[in-house]
Amino acid sequence: MRMAEPGNTDRNKQLNRSLVLNIIHKNGPITKAEISKELELTFATIGNITSELIETGAIKVTGYGQSNGGRKPALYEINWENNYVIALDVGVTKISAAIVNLKAEIHARCDVEMENSQYDLTFIERVFKAIDQLLSRTDLSHLKIIGIGVSAPGPIDEESGKLLSLPNLQEGRNVTIKQQLEQRYGLMTVLEKDANAAALAEQWFSNMQMKENILYIFADQGIGGGLIIDTRIYRGFHNGAGEIGHMSIDVDGPRCNCGNFGCLEAMASGISVIKQVKKEIRRGASSSLAEIYLQDEKQLTLDLIIQHGKNGDPLVKNVLDQTGRYLGIGVANAINFFAPSQVIFGGQMIDLYPEIVKIAERTAKPRFFSDAASRINFTNSSFGFDASLIGAAAIIQQKLFDKPENTIIK
Ligand SMILES: [Zn+2]
């Protein structure tokens, strides 16, 4: 761990504050003497910082340790229930806003659908509507809100806080969402790609053991990826990392939305499942969905298709098996390059059909190059449909522990 010398400069003070907060998170309940020993900082420095953190409500005393003759020393812990985040998840079909505490517990939530009746509102007006409704339903008098975390499908510019484009919205180009939310609500706002946010949620809030290096596969209508390397989000040059959906799986495969052919997204996403089922029905495949397709093909949603697959429809089962195999091949490629300790699957496809992870795992394992890779854990997301919403809260949580002065200490 990086140590800062005790000193008077602001930078040292900020770094020390972050170190103390992190050690209390990691080892709490903990005494000042133990923090001082662990960080090799003087008892006086730790005393100043813990007093300040108590005053701001970031930590609290939760008991007393063994006395060495004098007074019993106080034990410090993070004050998880005292601090809240506004989490905002921009999805393809809806915007979700929630008030979440630092243990990822949702205190209140509000969803605004992207349906036709909303089209008189601009995108940012819909975002404001979701948050305003959320705040109007919540008694804020005893809650301390420390920031707004926003998760959204890419591409984004994380640094300037802009959504570079939005799915299904013509107006959604270069939306300065961070700036507009900060202006309206006066709270620090941080933007992150949804798959990265979902990966961060697992890192902060799940009970998994090995979560320093996570590959998060967001298998939804499209396919996204999130990467955590040594506990930090890895974004790559201009936020370009993690686009596992555009890894080539079959050079002669179907055309992808990105213009290339045979991308993982074109072969194993929710949209590709719908396309394949329709195509096979047109070709005359026998399926319990054929009648519905002929009446109104719009009714063939991913949800309905997967329901029929679970009820034993042979066409759907074949398509889902094949989809799971393609996912497994994509994941095996990523694992051979990056060797994460955990591969976590989330998104609508996984929520509706969790068994697909087993198929992907069976396909991926024989393709691992390193023997150690067979010990990599494949798991489903701990947060189901709310993975990227909880991820939005995790973004602010990480900010708090990195730079408490931007969130909790104003
Ligand atoms: Zn593509």
Beta bridge partners of 358: none
Burial class (CB in 10 A: 0-12, 13-18, 19+), 355: middle
- Please give the distance, rounded to the nearest whole angstrom, from the Cα atom of residue 235 to the centre of ligand 1: 18
Phi, psi at residue 107, to the nearest 5°?
A: -90, -35
Return the residue matching tokens 């329709």.
278
One pLDDT digit (tens) per residue for the chain, 410 residues: 455 555 557 778 888 999 999 999 989 899 999 999 999 999 999 999 999 999 988 899 999 988 878 889 999 999 888 889 999 999 877 899 999 998 899 999 999 887 655 557 888 998 999 999 999 988 877 788 999 999 998 788 988 999 888 765 666 678 899 999 999 999 999 999 999 999 999 999 988 777 889 999 999 989 999 999 999 999 999 888 999 999 999 999 999 989 999 999 999 999 999 999 999 999 999 999 999 999 999 999 999 999 999 999 999 999 999 999 999 999 999 999 999 999 999 999 999 999 999 999 999 999 999 988 888 989 999 999 899 999 999 999 999 888 887 666 65
Among residues 276, 89, 97, which one has the least CA distance to residue 196?
Answer: 89
The angle that helices 314-338 and 302-310 make with each other, rounded to 10 degrees, is: 110
Q: What is the pLDDT of residue 118?
A: 53
CA dist 260 → 146, 254, 265 (Å): 42, 9, 10
- Please give the distance, rounded to the nearest whole angstrom, from the Cα atom of residue 242 to the centre of ligand 1: 13
- Please give the distance, rounded to the nearest whole angstrom, from the Cα atom of residue 275 to the centre of ligand 1: 16
- Please give the distance, rounded to the nearest whole angstrom, from the Cα atom of residue 383 to the centre of ligand 1: 27
CATH of domain 83-200+388-407: 3.30.420.40
Q: What is the pLDDT of residue 200?
A: 95
367 contact partners, CB below 8 Å, separation of at least 6: 328, 329, 332, 333, 336
Distance CA 235, CA 244 (A): 13
- Please give the distance, rounded to the nearest whole angstrom, from the Cα atom of residue 78 to the centre of ligand 1: 43
Count helices and strands (H / E) in the chain.
Answer: 15, 15
- Please give the distance, rounded to the nearest whole angstrom, from the Cα atom of residue 223 to the centre of ligand 1: 9
- Please give the distance, rounded to the nearest whole angstrom, from the Cα atom of residue 109 to the centre of ligand 1: 34
Q: What is the pLDDT of residue 116?
A: 54
Q: What is the CA radius of gyration of the chain?
A: 24
Structure tokens at 175: 């939306």
CB 340 within 8 A of CB 331: no
* Tens-place pLDDT, residues 69-118: 888 999 999 988 888 999 999 987 789 999 999 889 999 999 988 765 55
- Please give the distance, rounded to the nearest whole angstrom, from the Cα atom of residue 255 to the centre of ligand 1: 8
Distance CA 57, CA 236 (A): 35
Residue 186 is given by DSSP the state: -
Distance CA 151, CA 315 (A): 35
Domain segments of the chain as ranges = 10-78, 83-200+388-407, 208-381
Triad 59, 65, 69: Cα angle to 5°: 130
The three-state secondary structure class of 218 is: strand
Q: What is the pLDDT of residue 82?
A: 80
Distance from chain centroid for Cα 401 = 17
- Please give the distance, rounded to the nearest whole angstrom, from the Cα atom of residue 226 to the centre of ligand 1: 16
Distance CA 352, CA 304 (A): 10
Amino acid at 280: E
CB 372 within 8 A of CB 210: no
- Please give the distance, rounded to the nearest whole angstrom, from the Cα atom of residue 257 to the centre of ligand 1: 6
Amino acid at 73: P
Distance CA 64, CA 32 (A): 11
105 contact partners, CB below 8 Å, separation of at least 6: none
Distance from chain centroid for Cα 276 = 29
- Please give the distance, rounded to the nearest whole angstrom, from the Cα atom of residue 347 to the centre of ligand 1: 18
CA dist 52 → 21, 78, 147, 398, 405 (Å): 11, 13, 19, 19, 11
Distance CA 338, CA 186 (A): 39
Q: Please, what's the b/e burial string for 182-191 (b: 16 or more CB within 10 A of its CB; e: otherwise)?
A: beebeebbbb
Burial class (CB in 10 A: 0-12, 13-18, 19+), 67: exposed
* Tens-place pLDDT, residues 232-280: 999 999 888 999 999 999 999 999 989 999 999 999 999 999 999 999 9
Note the residue count of the chain.
Answer: 410
Q: What is the pLDDT of residue 110?
A: 94
Q: Do domains 83-200+388-407 and 208-381 have the same CATH topology?
A: yes
What's the topology of domain 10-78?
Answer: Arc Repressor Mutant, subunit A (1.10.10)
Q: What architecture is the 208-381 domain classified under in CATH? A: 2-Layer Sandwich (3.30)
* Kind of pairing between the strands at 214-219 and 342-346: parallel
- Please give the distance, rounded to the nearest whole angstrom, from the Cα atom of residue 260 to the centre of ligand 1: 5
- Please give the distance, rounded to the nearest whole angstrom, from the Cα atom of residue 219 to the centre of ligand 1: 14
The three-state secondary structure class of 84 is: strand
Q: What is the pLDDT of residue 3?
A: 54
Amino acid at 205: F
- Please give the distance, rounded to the nearest whole angstrom, from the Cα atom of residue 211 to the centre of ligand 1: 28
- Please give the distance, rounded to the nearest whole angstrom, from the Cα atom of residue 265 to the centre of ligand 1: 6
- Please give the distance, rounded to the nearest whole angstrom, from the Cα atom of residue 57 to the centre of ligand 1: 47
